[in-house]
Amino acid sequence: MVVARYFRTLLRALWLAAFVVAGNGSGALAQQEGPATAPNDPAALAYQLSKTARTEKQYTQIIELCHKALAARPAEKQAAYARKLEAWSYNRRGELRADAGEDDLAQADFEAAVKLDKTNWRALHNRGVGYAARTKFAEAAADFDEVIRLHADFATVWFNRGELRSQNADFNGAIDDYNQALKLQPNDPAALVGRGYAWYQLGENEDALKDYDRALELDGQRATTFVFRAAALAEAGRYAAAADDYRSAIRLEPNSAAGYQAAAWLMATCPDEEFRDAKLAVKASRRAIELRGHDEYRDQETLAAALAEDGQFEAAVKAQQRAIELAGNDDTELTKMLANRLKTYRARQPYRENRDTQQAERSSRRQR
């Protein structure tokens, strides 16, 4: 199962596959000998079946056999084994259900596995992924913390906890977790991109670019990595390279809403006239809205900037008002920034990006 990240900032609205369910290996527990039992004992039958189980039906059979064995109130050694085998089977079945898109059933299986065996770190991790999918970030973090305590050499849990910390704007903590993930898997492009984004949010642009460059060396087919690197390049004033990266992103993923939105923003707001193109910016921003499938403030904000660059100030004002409405009316730096930009369009002036405004925007968007 792959769970999308839940970021809503300028560029993290499109994402790499992020939270990853921990694969178990179908024979992980079956390779352990169970306690001695009669051949027809339910626990013994469950053990034999676990050696070859691969399907949801087979894991269900193991669960039922273990449940039957436990109902007979066996000695503690046999009961402990039956509980572990049943937990293992719930987790394996949950993974199959997650792969099939049956997320609610999968989460129920992971819950059942953890209830039976609190040391089953794979089930804990998978339950944490399910919590993250449901935006229960505190619960997800608690599960990931416990997995790290139980099995600290599992790189994916460090990566996923880094994602949660980044979500909560704890970018220093996120970098620490990505560092641990990369110690265990040095050539993981997703961890490099995650760390690069955290560096970017902390204003460490050169470190961000190093991570993005390395990630693209390892995997040059991820559109989102090009988009993230383009933002860092634009902030460094390397507009030609940024434009190239946006083109690469859209070539790799023609239906990337965020790719079109980010490219439109550069074409509408770049301080260097050479890289502005009002007509293309309007076209790209409208394409982003079409592809997104739902209304987001950032898309409307980009459309407003493109329309203003094209001299369509009345339409820009309407789009910016819609962006403010979507962003919410709370007294945050983001809404103040959007309101100031609305004043610019009402004054019939286009908006121009610069390094100072980029850093201010990055800070304000972290509040969301």
**Cα(43)–Cα(55) distance, integer angstroms:** 19
**Cα(321)–Cα(342) distance, integer angstroms:** 7
- pLDDT, one tens digit per residue, over 77-88 is 999 999 999 999
CB atoms within 10 A of CB 294: 7
Task: Point out which residues pair with 2 in neighbouring strands.
Answer: 20
Q: Which pLDDT value is given to residue 182?
A: 98
Contact present, 35 and 55 (Cβ < 8 Å): no
**Cα(41)–Cα(3) distance, integer angstroms:** 40
Q: Mean pLDDT for the chain?
A: 88
**Cα(157)–Cα(25) distance, integer angstroms:** 17
Q: Which pLDDT value is given to residue 367?
A: 39
What mean pLDDT is predicted for residues 68-79?
Answer: 93
Assess whether pLDDT exceeds 60 at residue 307. yes
Tokens of 95: 């993974």
Q: Which pLDDT value is given to residue 286?
A: 97
Domain locations in the chain as residue ranges: 23-117, 238-368
Chain Cα centroid distance, residue 279: 33
Assess whether pLDDT exceeds 50 at residue 212. yes
- pLDDT, one tens digit per residue, over 173-193 is 999 999 999 999 999 999 999
What mean pLDDT is predicted for residues 108-119?
Answer: 98
For domain 238-368, the CATH class is mainly alpha
- pLDDT, one tens digit per residue, over 23-56 is 554 444 544 555 555 667 899 999 999 999 999 9
Ramachandran angles phi, psi of 57, nearest 5°: -60, -40
| Nearest Cα to Cα of residue 5 among 117, 206, 166 | 166
What mean pLDDT is predicted for residues 194-219?
Answer: 97
| Nearest Cα to Cα of residue 211 among 222, 195, 224, 227 | 195
Residue ranges in 117-188 assigned as alpha helix (H): 121-133, 137-150, 155-167, 171-184
**What separation in angstroms does the CA of 210 have from each of 215, 227, 355?**
9, 15, 19
Q: Which pLDDT value is given to residue 335?
A: 87
**Cα(350)–Cα(311) distance, integer angstroms:** 8
Q: What is the pTM of this model?
A: 0.84
Indicate the pLDDT class of residue 333, thresholds 50, 70 and 90.
Answer: confident
**What separation in angstroms does the CA of 316 have from each of 262, 276, 313, 322, 337?**
17, 17, 5, 10, 15
- pLDDT, one tens digit per residue, over 95-106 is 999 999 999 999
Buried b (16+ CB within 10 A) or exposed e, 30-58: beeebbebeeebbbbbbbebbeebeebeb
What mean pLDDT is predicted for residues 244-267?
Answer: 96
Q: Which pLDDT value is given to residue 354?
A: 78
Q: Could you tell me what percent of the chain has a pLDDT over 90?
A: 80
Chain Cα centroid distance, residue 243: 25
Residue ranges in 219-332 assigned as alpha helix (H): 223-235, 239-252, 257-269, 278-292, 297-309, 313-327
Sign of the dihedral defined by the CA atoms of residues 158, 164, 168, 171, in that order: positive
What percent of the chain is helix, strand and coil (3-state, nearest 5)? 70, 0, 30
